[in-house]
Amino acid sequence: MSKKPVSKGKSLKTPRLPVHWSDISAGCLVLSFEDDIADGFWPAVVQAVKNDVATLKWQKRLDRRPFKKAITDLALFWPGQDLPSGGEAEAGGKGPTSWSALGVGHEILAGEDGPLGQFWPGKIIEQLDGERLSIEWVGYPDVPPVERSRRSLALLHPSDERSVKLRAPKQ
């Protein structure tokens, strides 16, 4: 009788996708920027949360040290399910409070069409149908808008509490 091989080392867990910023905890997959949003947003796994500050580790850049970001500076991937209706953008905010409230005029992050997988600041300019949206890149008025599924976007924190201010990149 042969024995099953035993896996050595750490087991790989699939990161959880939080539905709301209040759901962010250890093991969640979110998007973060490193030093400047002009360098794009990258997937990161939450290691710990204390006092609304997350300790993160890059998902693919494993040689990098853990770093800290305010919860309000993190973006959320689509959690993989249709969610109950939420509200519109918070008072003074520029983003929706839920996926169901996503619409024209909201600031979001959209993935680029390239091998690196960065996400960049954009603004929804048109609802093409129930699922597809037209996005313009923030700070690049000469670049034509792109079409994206709402499920391929990421939500920025809806309030002005976030330190991430969408702006044109440094020239």
Distance (Å, rounded) from C-alpha 147 to C-alpha 36? 25
- Computed from CA positions of residues 151, 15, 83, 110, in that sequence, does the dihedral angle turn out positive or negative? negative
| DSSP secondary structure, 128-167, as one string | -SSSEEEEEETT-TTSPPEEEEGGGEEEPPSSTT-S----
- Computed from CA positions of residues 134, 138, 141, 143, in that sequence, does the dihedral angle turn out positive or negative? negative
Answer yes or no: is 125 within a domain: yes
In a shared domain, residues 67 and 98: no
Structural domain of 33: 21-74
Distance (Å, rounded) from C-alpha 93 to C-alpha 164? 12
pLDDT digits (tens, 9 = 90+) for 10-52: 445 678 999 889 999 999 999 998 887 778 899 999 999 999 9
How remote is the C-alpha of 28 from its chain's centroid?
Answer: 11
- Report pLDDT for 90: 43
- Report pLDDT for 113: 79
Number of domains in the chain: 2
Residue whose pair of structure tokens reads 């249709």 in the numeric block: 82
Q: Quick check: 137 pLDDT over 50? A: yes
Share of the chain above pLDDT 90, in %: 39
Share of the chain above pLDDT 70, in %: 76
**Average pLDDT, rounded, for the chain:** 79
Answer yes or no: is 5 within a domain: no
Answer yes or no: is 169 within a domain: no
In a shared domain, residues 25 and 81: no
In a shared domain, residues 143 and 111: yes
